Each structure stands twice: as structure tokens, then as C-alpha cells.
Amino acid sequence: MRNYFYSFLLLCAFAAPVTAQTVQPFKQGDRVVFTGNSITDGGHYHSYIWLYYITHFPNRRITVFNAGIGGDVSRQMLERMDSDVFAKKPTVITLTFGMNDTGYQNLKGAKADSTYAVKVAESLKSFRLIEDKLKQHPNVRKIMIASSPYDETAKIKATPLIGKNTAMLKIAADQQSTASKNNWDFVDLNRPMTAINLQQQQSDSTFTMEGSDRIHPTNDGQMVMAYLFLKAQGLAAEKVANMVINVNNKKIALAENCIITSPVININHIKFNYLANSLPYPMDTIASGFGRPAKPQSTVLKLVPFTDEFNQELLQVIGLKEGVKYSLKIDGEPIGTWNAADYTEGINMALITGTPQYQQSLAIMHLNEERWTTERRLREYYWMHYSILKPKGLLFNDGQATLDSLQRYAKKDFFVAVTVPTYQKARFKHVRDAWQKEIDLLTNEMYRINKPVSHIIEITAAK
């Protein structure tokens, strides 16, 4: 019975929430603030979403802000809406909560149900006040995001809190109904990610995208979150480029999202100038980021069809000699050799890391990681204030006495201990201003180098 239930959940999750959602894509000049808890604070999903926009829409400049605070519940998000979220002058706000709101009590049966019910009600009480606050800003677009799931089913060391994710789904249901009532957007991350976990656990019972604590998605999970968000925005059909060259009639049959000029086409030699409107999406193959996650971003390719839906830079050549191999060069540099049949089917250049356009994207990716790292230092500063100092009446009191107090408190609080070194620097406004200037510089550089350039593509029959 348990397996039948999971199979049913899997079908429902993929059949309904992802395809049914339509979220307006970001437009030129948007300032998008992602509001949430530690999954946002230390996470990459918003950074991965921005990287897609930077590479795929190089002339559509937007700005993305991390407004996550680790440990937050809806009440705490309400308390910082003005000073931390609206202070960033957003045109778009996303809001996700529920993980911390439902608590971490290990209870069973009726006691668990009643405890979760109280915690959900408390969370939604603050959400009603957040709703009122958001309605005071009619010109700001709102996107409710159902939290990534708590994984109760992976066979890992951490003891699962049974019923927690069901309680989170009750919060998600209220988010969705609130969004519908107010004509806001809604994205469900919980059910699709749960479905992927269940699917993978059929062959590997230890699989989870939520890390060793069942809570915090690793980078592949964060990339799944980005994938689901972009899919909800209706961007899955957007190709980097799509080229079809017909050798039989010596014509360019298709040039989608790109410009092809000066073509020379014959059975043994094809050459043309190629200018795409987009760049391929680069995938980080190194596990990096907050908490040194065990999985890199690129692991996502085994979990969702991101390449098929979002990263297609297709080169198709019809009419080449069967059985003959053809070499591909870009700007005179050898890229690879494929059979005529491979060209007929189409070669996805977005997967070839040695192309100049992919290398251009890699540079952007690394700049974006530097920007993310610097922004994370600022978020640690704000975490210290909103989570530790505000309850003590010391919000934005950065004097020496505050630092001394934190250093003493750090001896009994691990999270404070690991954050104090950053706070020690960030308490000085000049340091924070310098970090923000670094973020601005990196952002400007990303948008300076993200413009596609013309390349010479050459296909020659191999000797």
C-alpha cells in the first residue's frame, strides 16, 4: 500500500503543479527579492535562476537579491519586511516559508497532529499580516513559493520527523489560495521535489536532495528548485539557438534565436558566421557554496530534463554523406568530430564545454559565484542582527559592547560562533559598503561580458 501511495504522489506531482503554473517571466529592470529562511539564505536557487536570465536574455538586465534569514518563521519575516525586503526597492517579491514554522518535534499519532495543527495556525496567523503588508504595495508583483520539502522517506542517519512535510503542505495550500485570491503568482516546489526523491529512492533508498539533515537542499536540489521556477515561468521552450543547414539545396533551413550570414555550403565543406541571441547555460561540476554541499549543481542533469528544456544550442546538418565523419571547428579551433548521422540528428553545442560561447558562459558563472559569496557575507551580518541581536533589543547596535557580548555568547552557540568572524568585519558600515560595491562591480561585469559575439563555424569532411 505504501508503494502505491508513493507512485500516486509521483504521478500527481508531475502531472499537476509544474505544468499548471504560469508565472510571468522577469522583465527588463526588475528588482527581484527572494524572501525566505536558511534554504534561501544559504541557498543557490535564486542565483541559478539569475544565471539563466543573464545567459539567455543578455539584454534583459535584472537584479536579484537574497533576503533569506536562517531559522526564520513567518512572524520573523513579517518583522523584517520593511527593513530588509522593501528596503531593497523591489519590483518583484517572492516569499517561501514553512520549514521552521512546523517545528522539529519528534512526536507521533494524535499528539503530533495536534502540535502540527497549532504550529500551522500560528504560522498562518502571521502570514495574514504579511498578506496585508504585501497588499500595501500594489505595484510590486508577488510570487508565493511553496517550500522545498522535508524528506521523511530517505533511509539516512537523521531520524525522520513523520508528518512534518504534510504540515508544510497545509501552509503551501494556504499560500496557493492566498495567491489565487489576490491574483499573485504561485510556484510549488514541495510536491515535485518530493516526487523526485521518491522516484530516486526506488533504486537508492539513501537518495535525497535535502541533505543529511533532510532539510537543506544540496546544490543539485537547489538547481531543481531553479528548474521548477523557470519552468513555471513558461521558459522551457526557449532555445539558446537552433540551426538547420540543408546541404541538398545549399540553404539555411532554420536559424532560430540566431543570425547566420555568409554561408558556404557543399557536401564536403560548410562555413558560415554565427551570432546567437543567447549563451549556453554553464553547469558547475564542483561541490561548493554554503556548508560545503556534497553534490555539485551538475548532478541535476540526472534528475530533471533541464538540458532538453532549457539548454539547447542545436546544430543540425541534413544531406551529408552517410558513413563519413565531419570535423567541427569554431573560430578555427577544433571542437570535435561526429558522424554524418549525428549531424542529421543534431548536435547540442550547449553541452560542449570547449566552445568559445560555453567558455564565455563559464566566466559569467564564476563571477556570479563570487557575487553570491560576497552577498552571503552580508546575509550573515543580517542573520546575526535579526536572529540574535533583535530579540535582545540590539538591532543594528554594532558597538564594541555588542561584539564582546556575542563573543561570550558564541561559546555556547555554534551558529553564532561560526558567524562572529564575519560580523566582526561587517559591523563597520565602510566594510559593508565596500562589499556592496564589489557586488555591484561583479554584476556590471557579468552584464558587460554576457553579450554573444559572432563566431565562424566550419564543418569539414574528415580525411
Angle at 187 between CA 181 and CA 189, to 5 degrees: 135
Once rounded to an integer, what is the mean pLDDT over residues 351-365?
97
CA dist 147 and 134 (Å) reads: 19
Cell 514554522 sits on residue: 101
pLDDT tens per residue, range 104-114 = 999 999 999 99
Domain definitions of the chain by residue range: 2-232, 241-356+456-461, 360-449
pLDDT tens per residue, range 140-199 = 999 999 999 999 999 999 999 999 999 999 999 999 999 999 999 999 999 999 999 999
pLDDT tens per residue, range 9-31 = 444 544 444 444 589 999 999 99
The pLDDT value given to residue 298? 66
* Higher per-residue pLDDT: 94 or 294: 94
Closest by alpha carbon to 379, among 441, 410, 423?
Answer: 423
Once rounded to an integer, what is the mean pLDDT over residues 421-450?
98
Once rounded to an integer, what is the mean pLDDT over residues 209-218?
95
CA dist 399 and 126 (Å) reads: 32
The band of 290, judged by pLDDT with boundaries at 50, 70 and 90, is: low
The band of 4, judged by pLDDT with boundaries at 50, 70 and 90, is: very low
The pLDDT value given to residue 78? 98
Once rounded to an integer, what is the mean pLDDT over residues 263-283?
96
Helix axes 190-201, 2-15, angle to 10 degrees: 130
pLDDT tens per residue, range 39-80 = 999 999 999 999 999 999 999 999 999 999 999 999 999 999
The pLDDT value given to residue 297? 64
Once rounded to an integer, what is the mean pLDDT over residues 330-340?
97
Helix, strand or coil for residue 32? strand
If you ran DSSP here, which 8-state letter would residue 214 be given? T
CATH no., domain 2-232: 3.40.50.1110
The band of 1, judged by pLDDT with boundaries at 50, 70 and 90, is: very low
The band of 300, judged by pLDDT with boundaries at 50, 70 and 90, is: confident
Once rounded to an integer, what is the mean pLDDT over residues 113-121?
97
Quick count: other Cβ atoms within 10 Å of Cβ 330? 18
The pLDDT value given to residue 323? 93
Rg value, the chain, Cα: 25
Please, what's the b/e burial string for 98-119 (b: 16 or more CB within 10 A of its CB; e: otherwise)?
bbbbbbeeebeeeebeebbeeb
The pLDDT value given to residue 284? 75
CA dist 420 and 205 (Å) reads: 38
Q: Is the pLDDT of residue 6 over 60?
A: no
Once rounded to an integer, what is the mean pLDDT over residues 228-232?
97
Average pLDDT of the chain is 93
Strands (E), 184-341: 185-188, 241-246, 251-256, 258-265, 269-276, 313-318, 325-330, 333-339
Cβ-Cβ contacts under 8 Å for 358 (sequence gap 6 or more): 279, 280, 282, 349, 350, 352
